[in-house]
Amino acid sequence: MSVIQIDEVSKLYGFGDATTVALDEVSLTIEKGEFIAVMGPSGSGKTTLMNILGLLDKPTHGVYKLNGRDVSRLSKIRQAKQRRDNIGFIFQSFNLLSKLTVIENVALPLAYKGTRSKKRLKTAERVLEQVGLADRDSYLPTQLSGGQLQRAAIARALVNNPSIIIADEPTGNLDSVSARVVMELLSEVHKLGNTVIMVTHNPSLTRYADRIIYMLDGSIVYDESSVVGDIPSRVQRAINALRKSDDDEKLANVSAMMETIPDSSKTPEKTDTKKKRKAAKKARKARVKKAKKSESNAKEKSEAKK
Ligand SMILES: Nc1ncnc2c1ncn2[C@@H]1O[C@H](COP(=O)(O)OP(=O)(O)O)[C@@H](O)[C@H]1O
Ligand SMILES: [Mg+2]
């Protein structure tokens, strides 16, 4: 059984003319123990996808099965329970509570679970040791460096012993040394048999992953397996092209480059992908039109009622 299976999941924001299709009928199956790197330009829907997979948000359409169970339409409370028992979430901006000490932050998810205070602190201390932060347990978040904050956030994500870790650009705010420490931690968690799904803009971090997904305009445009320790050739070409181009803007948004690097070894497939994308775009436009139409119909109806 797959740990995660989503089927034609869409997420729409806004109404009428201002509708944004953040996710466009995305289907994805994730097996236990995979380490997936998700790339794609800003606005391509990566965070929206992570929030849905992490049960922080619900899809507008489509089905989400977590460990074989349909969780797409659960109540907020049941959703939170599923999240607590299965998922650890790591954010780019750490999201630690500033008035609580490090150990209190880490122990917090256990409080929601109803674990006794003594046991909570003991478990939190053990996880803090695991991330190398035991000596900072009584510090406040403001007293820690960015790298330490992210390690504390990882400890908080791990404290419930979840089997799925979702990390949305976990190294986005870190210097390269701290980023490496964070990646090594995620890698350890992966090696223990857990599933890791990580959004990153940094192509060199794809070396930790065994599967790479590229998103564009709310769709998955590539989904390829990779060998841990290797950077896939497509990503490597993008890095090389960037070294030559010296273009700051492209550097900031490196994954957008994937689209423009010709893949000489796979030319037929590429034309194929291009065609598919064109068709998908057309279908997407039609769907948005349809959604808008049904929305305005519904509006008319409700106004007629009045
Ligand atoms: N809460 C929201 N309300 C309206 N639009 C949103 C919201 N969240 C995301 N979007 C839009 O959805 C699209 C995808 O966003 P996001 O998932 O954050 O992309 P990424 O993480 O790849 O940068 C963007 O066009 C963004 O502006
Ligand atoms: Mg994002």
**Looking at 45-49, 68-72, 73-77, 142-146, which range is the least confident one?**
73-77
Torsion on CA atoms 12, 13, 15, 16, rounded to nearest 10: -60
Q: Residue 169 — φ and ψ, nearest 5°?
A: 50, 55
| 24 pLDDT above the threshold of 90 | yes
Which pLDDT band holds residue 189 (cuts at 50, 70, 90)?
A: very high
Question: Which residues place a Cβ less than 5 A from the ion ligand 2?
Answer: 46-47
In-domain check, residue 116: yes
With the most atoms of ligand 1 within 8 angstroms of its CB, the residue from 11, 26, 48 to mutate is 48
Domain hosting residue 230, numbered range: 4-261
Which atom, in ligand 1's list, is nearest to the CA of 14? 4
In-domain check, residue 249: yes
Q: What is the mean pLDDT of residues 204-213?
A: 94
- Residue keyed to tokens 């959703």: 79
With the most atoms of ligand 1 within 8 angstroms of its CB, the residue from 20, 215, 284 to mutate is 20
For residue 51, the model assigns a pLDDT of: 96
In-domain check, residue 275: no
Q: 256 CB contacts (<8 Å, ≥6 apart)?
A: 40, 41, 250
Q: Which residues line ligand 1 (CB under 6 A)?
A: 13-14, 20, 22, 40, 42-48
For residue 1, the model assigns a pLDDT of: 84
| 264 pLDDT above the threshold of 50 | no
| 251 pLDDT above the threshold of 60 | no
In-domain check, residue 86: yes
Question: What single-letter DSSP state applies at residue 116?
Answer: -
Please state, rounded to an integer, the average pLDDT across all residues of the chain: 86
Q: Pick the residue with more confidence: 36 or 271?
A: 36
Q: How many whole angstroms separate alpha carbon 133 and alpha carbon 78?
A: 32
In the chain, what percentage of residues exceed pLDDT 70? 80
Distance (angstroms) between ligand 1 centre and the Cα of 129 equals 36
CB-based contact 141:96 (threshold 8 Å)? yes
For residue 88, the model assigns a pLDDT of: 95
| 266 pLDDT above the threshold of 50 | no
Ligand nearest to the CA of 256: 1
Distance (angstroms) between ligand 1 centre and the Cα of 234 equals 26
| Type of residue found at 243 | R
In-domain check, residue 296: no
For residue 275, the model assigns a pLDDT of: 62
| Shortest-distance Cα residue to atom 11 of ligand 1 | 22
Whole-model pTM: value is 0.81
Q: What is the mean pLDDT of residues 216-234?
A: 88
- 69-70: strand order across its sheet: 20-30, 4-13, 61-66, 69-70
In the chain, what percentage of residues exceed pLDDT 90? 67
| 200 pLDDT above the threshold of 70 | yes
Tokens at residue 103, please? 């150990």
In-domain check, residue 274: no
Give which of 146, 198, 194, 128 is closest to 170, Cα–Cα: 198
Tokens at residue 128, please? 């803090």
- 87-90: strand order across its sheet: 87-90, 164-168, 195-199, 35-39, 211-216, 219-225
Question: What single-letter DSSP state applies at residue 97?
Answer: -
Distance (angstroms) between ligand 2 centre and the Cα of 167 equals 11
* Structural domain total, the chain: 1
Q: Residue 292 — φ and ψ, nearest 5°?
A: -65, -40
Distance (angstroms) between ligand 1 centre and the Cα of 153 equals 23
Which pLDDT band holds residue 114 (cuts at 50, 70, 90)?
A: confident
Which pLDDT band holds residue 240 (cuts at 50, 70, 90)?
A: confident
pLDDT digits (tens, 9 = 90+) for 120-169: 999 999 999 999 999 999 999 999 999 999 999 999 999 999 999 999 99
Which atom, in ligand 1's list, is nearest to the CA of 215? 22
| 268 pLDDT above the threshold of 60 | no
For residue 261, the model assigns a pLDDT of: 46
**β 20-30/4-13 pair status:** antiparallel
Ligand nearest to the CA of 46: 1
**Looking at 43-52, 75-84, 136-145, which range is the least confident one?**
75-84
Supply the CATH number for residue 227's domain: 3.40.50.300
| Shortest-distance Cα residue to atom 20 of ligand 1 | 43
